Chains A and B, each alone.
Chain A
Amino acid sequence: MGLDGPESKTKPVVLWLGTNTCAGDLLSFLNNNNPGYQTWVNDYVDLRYDYLLGVSQGPQNIEILDSTLADLPGRYILIVEGTIPTNSYEFCSVIGIKNSEYWTALQAVRELGAKAGHIIAAGTCAAFGGPYAAAPNPTGSVPLQAILRERTVINVPGCPINPEWLMGTINHLILYGVPELDSLNRPRLFYGQTIHDQCQRRAHFDNGVFAENPGEPWCMYKLGCKGPTTYADCPSRQWNTEHVSWPVKANTPCIGCTSPEFPDGDMPFFEHLPDVELPGIRMQANQVGRWAGLFTALGIGSHLAANIVTGRLAGNYKRDLASSRRKRLLKKKILRKKF
């Protein structure tokens, strides 16, 4: 009775929903190798719904989602890619038309999420908000966990995800259950260590050999590399299907795309710290430092100048000198008295 024929009964059912997303994670996922996407779809899972590559359309789509919800409660894996917009009556993302009304992403995620066996947020947007929830966030976008508060959402962030982070997480779910998660619900298997701790250029960092311009083969720290604050295994796993390279290896700093504060907290990408924002002012952190130094120097400098010009400083030292001379004399007098 499975939608895709009898053989699908034994394969876990997967629904892949696209909400506010650039589709980068699904496109990245297609670069998987061992298993590749084709093998995965044929042999590993019953991918019933795929917002980008599915062959079904319109009412058929809704029917697939509805019947999965009805027939397999608690037994399908829900993957959501993208944020859930909440402004403008949630119309910034619509999955389809149901009962002659728009079925918004928010409604779909609530209904499908409530009955899913496992829920995966694919990409930084679904996991933490990411670019689609970046300031000023006109769509009122929120990550998946903010909608499905009482469920465990497995976060697989990345902008985009490394294909193997998601493939590995799904296959771990199927074969062994939920992988060990960190406190941001990311699988430790892939996000257990910082980029910095696995980086090939770590020796350059420790030795203080820093690139001054992108393209130089040294540590990218002074160009704003976010490796020290970013958890992912890019340096060891690497990218491009065949594990050939990753940003620092390509002589450009890590921009911290798996972090919960990405991208607002990682910007400017080529600066060490995020900008300092006060009402009406936005300033680079180092500029704040420079101004603070300048004001302190000016304050102390002008007071010192006045202190010298008015003779007060010299007076303080003369006074101390005189009083210690008096004390020395007093001591001598006491000693003379005693002996």
Chain B
Amino acid sequence: MDLTLKLKRKKPRHSLVARVLHWLYAPSVLTCIWSGFYINRPAKIYGFRNMNSAQKAHFIAQFTLIFAFLARVYYAFQKKNYKEILPNRQTIQNLPRFVRYELFLNSKKPQFPKYNPGQKLLFTGFVLLLPLQILTGLALYFQDSWQKTTKIAKGLNYLRQLHFLVALGNAILVAGHLYFVFTQGFKTLKSIFTGYK
């Protein structure tokens, strides 16, 4: 086969849409975490000028996130690529192998279809926690008009607490995701920018 074709025909690891959406929701989530923790307990180290700017950052990021999250979910169903992201029976079967490798009990790197079981579990965490984050956030943001909804949480203070605890969960997931990404070498990292490994 012609070498040119061999290079060109390779399917990208991440499609353009997936990459664009990743670079919409990733900064939004990071901004929400950063500004959210400032809102929870204002301190100089976050670098926000004041509460007003932290709230503005949170509010802009939150709506970008909502848009990007919904778009990604729609795209996942349309292209059926949720199969690459969500765990399946194979993932569970692969899990012991993966854990042994990650605990340095096995030195040969196992191969997995696209994402390793660890990344898959983290992504599933996002799929579960981000909707909760968005719903509790919306109920806080529209607290006047959504007063009935707040009743489910038994009051605004409990709603805030829930939003905060879910944010902790999301922050842990992001930390895990970034750790995987930055320790796998730079080609995976490159792939989320260029699409190719």
CA A117 – CA B3 in complex, angstroms? 89
B114: interface (CB < 8 Å): no
B165 at the interface (CB under 8 A from A): yes
Chain A residues positioned under 8 Å from B48 (CB to CB): 208
Main secondary structure of the interface of A (DSSP, over half): helix
Contact (Cβ within 8 A) A265 B50: no
Using Cβ atoms and an 8 Å threshold, which residues of chain A touch B49?
208
Q: Are A210 and B42 interface neighbours, CB within 8 A?
A: yes
Q: When the two chains form their complex, are residues B147 and A184 in contact, meaning their CB atoms are under 8 A apart?
A: yes
**Given the interface contacts A316-B184, A317-B185, does A276 sit within 8 Å of B161 by beta carbon?**
yes
Residues of A within 8 A of B185 (CB): 316-317, 319-320
Given A260-B154, A285-B165, A320 contacting B187 (CB threshold 8 A): yes
Task: Please judge, given known A-B contacts A183-B151, A184-B147, A208-B42, whether A330 and B3 are in contact too, CB under 8 Å.
Answer: yes
Within 8 A of B (CB), among A261-319: 261, 265-266, 272-274, 276, 285-286, 288-289, 292, 296, 300, 303-304, 306-307, 310, 312-313, 316-317, 319
Taking residues whose C-beta sits less than 8 angstroms from the other chain, chain A's interface range is 35 or more
**Is the C-beta of B90 less than 8 angstroms from some C-beta in chain A?**
no
The answer to whether the Cβ of B176 comes within 8 Å of any Cβ in the partner chain is yes
- Looking at A7-15, A221-229, A240-248, the stretch in contact with chain B turns out to be A221-229
B4-48 Cβ-contact flags toward A at 8 Å (1 or 0): 100100000000000000000000000000000100111000001
Name the residue of chain A whose CB is nearest to the CB of B38: A208
Name the residue of chain B whose CB is nearest to the CB of A311.
B107
Query: For the complex, is A331 an interface residue (Cβ under 8 Å from B)?
Result: yes
Residues in chain B within 8 A of chain A (CB atoms): 3-4, 7, 37, 40-42, 48-52, 102, 104, 107, 143, 147-148, 151, 154-158, 160-161, 164-165, 168, 171-172, 175-176, 179, 183-187
Q: Can you list the 8 inter-chain pairs with the closest CB atoms, starting with the nearest?
A: A261-B155, A208-B50, A229-B156, A320-B185, A316-B185, A265-B157, A206-B52, A183-B147
Residues of A with Cβ closer than 8 Å to B?
A: 182-184, 194, 205-208, 210, 221-222, 226, 229, 256, 259-261, 265-266, 272-274, 276, 285-286, 288-289, 292, 296, 300, 303-304, 306-307, 310, 312-313, 316-317, 319-320, 323-324, 330-331, 333-334, 337-338
